[in-house]
Amino acid sequence: MTTSFDQRELRNVLGSFVTGVTVVTTLDADGQPLGVTANSFSSVSLEPPLILWSQALTARSFPAFRDAERFVINILAEDQAQVSQRFAKAGEDKFAGVATREGIGGLPLIDGCTAYLQCRKVATYPGGDHAVFIGQVEQIERCDRKPLAFGGGRYMLAHSYDLGTFSVDKPDGGLQHVEAVRIANAALPEIGQRLDAMLGLSVWGNRGPTVINWEPTRNAVTQDLHTGLVVSPVFSASGLTFTAYLPREMTRHNVQAELQQLREAAMSNVPSEEEIDRRLDDVRTHGLAHSVPERFGADIAAIGAPVFDHRGRIVFALTAVATTSRIGNGYDGPLQVSLRREAAALSQRLGHRTA
């Protein structure tokens, strides 16, 4: 047990408590909107309906919140990490480009949040280097969106088996892809339960189609699966999915390299590029790839469906592995229909919109 500690140690310990994220908004004496990111929000009482949040005495907006009669707690949704970061910074027009609407007294409500509490301030208490504001809730609103969470110095999903909405406005493609991976990985257990099938999540990596996560089921059909597995671009369901939907110039080298390796190994029945093109046309026509990988044996098959981002680009292949008797040879079986539906729903969460 630690009996002496510095502020950094205390901050790290407090950071292990996962919270939601809010932006508290108000108007200053001149009627200008102000907002600040806060995860110090907490409920106090149901009768009367009271909540609290705290603010550092050194914050530039502290005098305005100290003197304000009202404030709004905007509980952020999980695709609003950028909103949180914007309102956590000082010295800029925080509301620039942020859609809002007016609440009680003209106070700004930030669009897209998971919930709102419009409050009248009833008390302010000293709290060391912070002030604690108590508000009486006068109006509430809740939307069907998943909340943003924060802990250990980073943003995270509010529930490990949850799936929220992915922001389509983040300018940083790398950050955007990382967040997409987190959202998709968190979705796998729930999707796997609905499909009752082993699920794989793959990306197109430096070496081609690469599995980044496997979600097993209660009755796993194989144990020969692991993350980091690089699969065939023409014989695996995941690989066929990417090869069908990625630009040809991105996949041509991988396809030709694999075919060359098969020829050098004197393998029989090596498909021609024309045969592969016909197979890829089938994938695009049906929105689904089908394969019976040799590594699993003849009794196990796989089907893959594309997951797209807001620009219509494939970012993942969602693959289900099951017995060949369950999957069959067609494209319209129950598992096939369900996998396409789940991939489309995940695409929508990542901002993809169909025409």
Closest CA to 186 of 46, 346, 69: 346
Helices 237-245 + 248-264 axis angle, to 10:
140
Q: Which residue type does 34 have? A: L
State phi, psi for 149 to the nearest 5 degrees: -125, 160
7-151 carries CATH number 2.30.110.10: yes
pLDDT score recorded for residue 228: 79
Residue 186 to residue 76: CA distance in whole angstroms: 19
Helices 273-286 + 237-245 axis angle, to 10:
90
Q: Are 287 and 308 in contact (CB under 8 A)?
A: no
Q: Which residue type does 128 have? A: G
What pTM was computed for the model? 0.53
327 C-beta neighbours (distance < 10 Å), count: 24
Residue 79 to residue 349: CA distance in whole angstroms: 10
pLDDT in tens, 194-208: 998 889 899 988 788
Structure tokens at 222: 């194989």
pLDDT score recorded for residue 159: 45
Q: Are 144 and 112 in contact (CB under 8 A)?
A: no
In 128-237, DSSP assigns E strands to 130-142, 148-151, 154-157, 198-205, 208-215
Residue 169 to residue 164: CA distance in whole angstroms: 15
- Say if strands 22-27 and 70-75 run parallel, antiparallel, or are unpaired: antiparallel
Block residue for tokens 């493609």: 173
State which residues of the chain have pLDDT below 50. 159-174
Residue 254 to residue 252: CA distance in whole angstroms: 6
Q: Are 56 and 38 in contact (CB under 8 A)?
A: no
pLDDT score recorded for residue 148: 87
Domain-by-domain residue ranges, the chain? 7-151, 169-349
CATH assignment of 169-349, given 3.30.70.100, 3.40.50.970, 3.20.20.100, 3.30.450.40? Answer: 3.30.450.40
pLDDT score recorded for residue 111: 96
